Amino acid sequence: MGNQDNPKPLPFFFVGKDITTERKTSYATQKNNLLSQAIGKPDTTSIWYSKEHIVKLLEEIEYAGGDGLRVYFGMYEPSHEFAGQTCLLMNTTREKIVGENIIHPDVVLENEPDYTGRSTLPRDIIVFPGDDSTLSVKRDFNYGSPCPPRCDG
C-alpha cells in the first residue's frame, strides 16, 4: 500500500466510502433494476479493468496528443457474449480552441492520418484473470470484465 512515513495527499477525485456506497446503492435500486427488467437478466453493475489496460489507455492518449478521456455508456450487440448488457466505451479527447472556448472533441482513430498503417499491425492481447492464456482471444480496447456475470467474490 502506501508509505506511512511519507503519506501522499488523497487524490482530488476522492469522494469517500459513504458517498460511494450511497451512489452505488441509488444506482442499483433505481436504474439497474429498470435496466435489468428491460433486458430480462441482471444488467452490468460494474466493470473491472486491469492496471495494464489503464496503462495502455494512458499511452494511447499520449500517442494521440490527447488531453483526456470521455467515457460513454453503450450496450453490447445481440451476438455478443454479454448481449444487451451495459458497457463502457472510452474515447481519447483532444483539446480544440473554438473562438474563446476550449472544447474536448473525441479523437476518431479512423480519421487520424496514421490509421491505415496502424490498423494493419497486430494488436496487443490482454489476458484477463480467469481467461485461458493459451487462447489468442483478441479483446476490444474497451472490453472490460463486466459484473455480472464476472464478479469478484
| Residues 112 and 99 sit within 8 Å (Cβ to Cβ) | no
Tell me the mean pLDDT in the region 35-61: 93
Residue 94 sits at the vertex; the CA angle it makes with 92 and 98, to the nearest 5 degrees, is 145
CA distances from 97 to 71, 93, 101, 104 (A): 21, 13, 6, 9
Mean pLDDT of 37-58: 92
Closest CA to 150 of 77, 90, 82: 82
Asked whether residue 111 carries a pLDDT value surpassing 90, the answer given is yes
Q: What is the CA radius of gyration of the chain?
A: 19
Q: Domain coordinates of the chain in residue numbers?
A: 12-43, 46-129+140-153
CA distances from 8 to 1, 2, 14, 73, 126 (A): 11, 8, 13, 32, 30
Under the banding of pLDDT at 50, 70 and 90, the label for residue 139 is very low
For range 92-105, the mean pLDDT: 96
